[in-house]
Structure 1
Amino acid sequence: MKMQTKQTMILLLGVAACTAPMADAAAKKPNILFILADDQCWETIGCIGGEVKTPNLDKLVAGGVSFKRAYNMGSWSGAVCVASRHMFNTGRYVWNCNDLIKQSAKWKKTHKNKPFPGQIKSWSQQLGDAGYSTYFAGKWHVSMFSAKQVFDVVGTERGGMPKQTPEGYNRPLDENDKNWLPWDKSKGGFWEGGTHWSEVLRDEAIGFIDQASQDDKPFFMYIAFNAAHDPRQAPKEFVDMYPIESIKLPENFQPLYPYADDIGCGKSLRDARLAPFPRTEYSVKVNRQEYYALVTHMDVQIGKILEALEKSGELDNTYIFYTADHGLAIGHHGLIGKQNMYEHSLGAPLIVNGPGLESGKRITERVYIQDIMPTTLELAGADMPDEVDFQSLLPLITGKTQKGRDVIYGAYKNLQRCVMQGDWKLMHYPKASKYRLFNVAKDPNEMNDLAENPEYAERLKTMKEALASEMVRQNDHELD
């Protein structure tokens, strides 16, 4: 697929790139294509991590701006994607968003079948008010309102994840464990309905592009893949791209995480049960093999969507944003899921591609992935509601500023907190009364905990103060 690199913009959380001027104000407003993956670690972008084949995402990185340090803020539930997607669609920080959801749930108890009025319109409604035709298909997982309430056109609206089966857990036990295979359509999951869900989403997206190209209105497309969430199912040809002997173990692999139970990542966590306890090298390699296959399969579908956009004649006037709702561990630190504060799980890819942007620019400043939401409002010339907490990335993308977030905050239920400032990250595990301190510049794999090293006592104190301050700013009362 040929791509006009300076005419495409994609945001990839976890990479770094920068952009240039915006489209001519006299021209038609730019289209906006938002592609959201699920459970995708930033290192699974081929040109970043090097082990996964993602030629189409690589082209987006090469032709646009990517971010090396893009983060999800965390979650109030084990389903981290629920919090992430609510933040995208409301523009609110994690605990402000949680408060809004509680208000919504209370409203629905006494006002059945009536939309929650709230105090903020959804992302798509704000773009609709700015003159956009809005479209959604794929994984929704937002409880405050249905996709049909807030988008003009809706394709297939999926639930949180494809159905897992008992055979999909605690596996593989050894080389002879073949009870569950990614290409076995009898297990359902991504194969439910006969066609892989990523391919269904591809076809629906292409259908809307064909339709939208005949319309004078600009469009906002929100395309949400269930991939690369488990069950990690892909056609056999994709699994065969990754021979098990070629799969590398993460450098920070360990059989068990010492604080797993204290941080909510022990056997009681669904995600954690996908692989055996303790983690074995073989089980982690197989899980990563299947994960890589699903990511590559998704990349092929994304390539076909972008090809259709180019054929429609709309590519030159479209900003493309690509990210995932968070990352994933799959063996890093003995963890499998995303419910942790390490870089592999809190971070995600973020790529932006579009008209007038600088090709191959990589931004190393820290941002939140949900900063995409106000970025699109600014591109669309829409009003920026006071209630939107996140901030536009355009100043960073266009080079008007070189400064990102001074502080990044992370939270998981009432079990984990973290703060990042400068080269440092502090994690706090309240249940274990444990702090972990890492210099992420010198120790990117977060393997050397300095919290109990007396040489870093002053740094530990400073970071504890930063965390306490940020918790106040974030209206974080979960630990009260």
Structure 2
Amino acid sequence: MLRILFLSTPVLLALGGLLTATGAAAAEAPAKTGQPNILFVFTDDQAVDTIRALGNSEIQTPNFDRLVASGTTFTRCYNMGSWSPAVCIASRSMLLSGRSVWRAQKIYDTAEQEREAGRWWPAYFKAAGYRTYLTGKWHVKASPEKSFDVVRHVRPGMPRDTPEGYNRPLSDAEDAWSPSDPKLGGYWQGGKHWSEVVADDAVDYLRQASAEADPFFMYIAFNAPHDPRQSPREFVEMYPPEKISLPGNFLPEYPFKDLIGCEPALRDEKLAPFPRTPHSIRVHRSEYYAIVSHLDRQIGRILDALKESGKQDNTWIFFTADHGLAVGHHGLVGKQNLYDHSVRVPFVAVGPQAVAGERIDAAIYLQDVMPTALELAGVAKPDHVDFHSILPLIRKETTQSSYSAVYGAYLGLQRMVESDGFKLIVYPKANRLRLYHLAEDPLEKHDLADDPRYRPQILRLAKALRENQERTGDSLSLASLLPAE
């Protein structure tokens, strides 16, 4: 019997009629023989450069490294963007509904109706005979208790923060914030660090599942490493700020910040002082690494519990994050931008057909995990789902992405398209295009938009952006900025 841990892996099942392609759940559950378990591990604000095995030699992540070594890593995984400064809301709405960003916005306030109609990720697993579990961050407007069979410790968008956590550290003043002091609340609200609580729940769920015949779908959603970036002293002391490198694209201030929605009043950007100083960014990055390493330890506990459950061989694990984070890249701190540090995330699939240690460069969206997991469960992709299964890539049936270009958006202030090693960013309010050759400039430091030699690339990407706007229902007019074909 195959089980799936949500870190992703596909299994072909001839269970025709399990669900109709309209999105409504079928009345009869299919036979469970052959259905894999799915373990979905979801983190918050975790950028693609926070895992040692993926190239960051300063951070310690032995259990994330363990996942990378055990499964298939997608090196170009993206979040499509957001209609809200709370990017996680849009990311999770897309994930659970299967809709692209602007279509997900339309159903955000009626998510409970989507759940009732069966057009909801866990609803399909329930109809397919799965036992479903949730712990951790939710942040959408559908009932978590009605979405899953077993629910514990549903968390809000972020732990409660305090004024001491903002505009810090200042070079000429003592820092009132301590990332390891439980008295400041945040992740310690309730008496135990939230990441440890999520891992406790996941371990307990796996113990329950080991004694059950039904396949399981576990949605394990950490708030970490979202700010306030708190972790026990042991982890904070692993990363002395003076030993932390600045990002290679560090800037004291991003020149267009006020015109792209990243002004000093934005909550995320208020965390560090303006202009950014090397000291403040090193401190923030050291605390970011610390909470990631603490999170990594919890991931190890879950992986160990899966092995002990006896279900590991029949489980797909899918690990990803809702979006990335700047933490000093380009003079920015938050995720409300379209640079790779904020739109790219880690994505690892571990399962029966995933090749251990493999890297795949074909572009995907993190929300592709939704139709991927449904395919593994034998559920036909519903008509309303805009994302695509990545099983053909994992199975080596193709090497081509389902997307000819990667599209990204933030409010009405930023648009992005990436294709064939180039990225075009559009700032309507700033009346500005930015062009980067990612193949040669992965840190996006050298803007080529004003170089006439790159006019063909701009024309090609402008056409791709218009096509993706039409495809996703993006009504923002860019006619005054994008060159004609």
TM-score (norm 1): 0.92
Alpha-carbon distance in structure 2 between the residues aligned to 1:96 and 1:313: 40
- Pairing partner for 2:340 from 331, 334, 343: 343
Shift of 1:266: 1.0
Shift of 1:174: 2.1
- Pairing partner for 1:309 from 306, 310, 313: 306
**Large movers: runs of 4+ above 4 Å:** 7-12, 19-27, 114-120
1:167-223, CA deviations, whole angstroms, 9 ceiling, x for partnerless residues? 100000027533000111111000101100000111111111111111100000000
* Contact preservation (8 Å) 1:42, 1:349: yes
Q: Specify every segment of 5 or more residues in structure 2 that has no aligned partner in the other structure, as ranges.
A: 16-31, 479-485
- Pairing partner for 1:78 from 79, 85, 101: 85
Would the alpha carbon gap of residues 175 and 222 (structure 1) be closer, same or farther in structure 2, given more than 3 Å must change? farther
Alpha-carbon distance in structure 2 between the residues aligned to 1:362 and 1:134: 30
Alignment-derived partner of residue 39 in structure 1: 45
- Pairing partner for 1:29 from 35, 51, 61: 35
1:21-46, CA deviations, whole angstroms, 9 ceiling, x for partnerless residues? 76999954110000000000011011
- Pairing partner for 1:129 from 127, 130, 134: 127
Q: Percent identity?
A: 51
Is 1:427 aligned to 2:425, yes or no?
yes
Is 1:398 aligned to 2:395, yes or no?
yes
Would the alpha carbon gap of residues 118 and 413 (structure 1) be closer, same or farther in structure 2, given more than 3 Å must change? farther
* Contact preservation (8 Å) 2:206, 2:305: yes
Would the alpha carbon gap of residues 9 and 422 (structure 1) be closer, same or farther in structure 2, given more than 3 Å must change? farther
Alignment-derived partner of residue 138 in structure 2: 140
2:406 is paired with a residue whose SS is strand
| Counterpart residue type for residue 95 of structure 2 | F
Is 1:193 aligned to 2:190, yes or no?
yes
* Contact preservation (8 Å) 1:9, 1:60: no
CA root-mean-square deviation: 2.0
1:333-389, CA deviations, whole angstroms, 9 ceiling, x for partnerless residues? 000000111010000000000123211110011110000000000000012211111
Alpha-carbon distance in structure 2 between the residues aligned to 1:325 and 1:479: 27
Alignment-derived partner of residue 413 in structure 1: 411
| Counterpart residue type for residue 132 of structure 1 | Y
- Pairing partner for 1:172 from 146, 169, 172: 169
Aligned pairs, number: 458
Would the alpha carbon gap of residues 341 and 55 (structure 1) be closer, same or farther in structure 2, given more than 3 Å must change? same
| Counterpart residue type for residue 137 of structure 1 | T
Alpha-carbon distance in structure 2 between the residues aligned to 1:193 and 1:383: 41
1:229-277, CA deviations, whole angstroms, 9 ceiling, x for partnerless residues? 0000000110111122220000000000000000000112100000000
1:76-475 alignment runs, 5 A limit: 76-102=83-109, 104=110, 115=113, 121-143=119-141, 145-174=142-171, 177-404=174-401, 405-475=403-473
Alpha-carbon distance in structure 1 between the residues aligned to 2:244 and 2:258: 28
Q: Specify every segment of 5 or more residues in structure 1 that has no aligned partner in the other structure, as ranges.
A: 1-6, 13-18, 106-113
Shift of 1:469: 1.7
Alpha-carbon distance in structure 2 between the residues aligned to 1:178 and 1:101: 39
Shift of 1:391: 0.3
Alpha-carbon distance in structure 1 between the residues aligned to 2:211 and 2:240: 45
Shift of 1:460: 1.5
* Contact preservation (8 Å) 2:6, 2:41: no
1:270-289, CA deviations, whole angstroms, 9 ceiling, x for partnerless residues? 00000000000000000000
TM-score (norm 2): 0.91
| Counterpart residue type for residue 215 of structure 2 | P
Would the alpha carbon gap of residues 188 and 117 (structure 1) be closer, same or farther in structure 2, given more than 3 Å must change? closer
Structure with higher RCO (Cα < 8 A, 6+ apart) = 1
Moved more, 451-460 or 258-267: 451-460
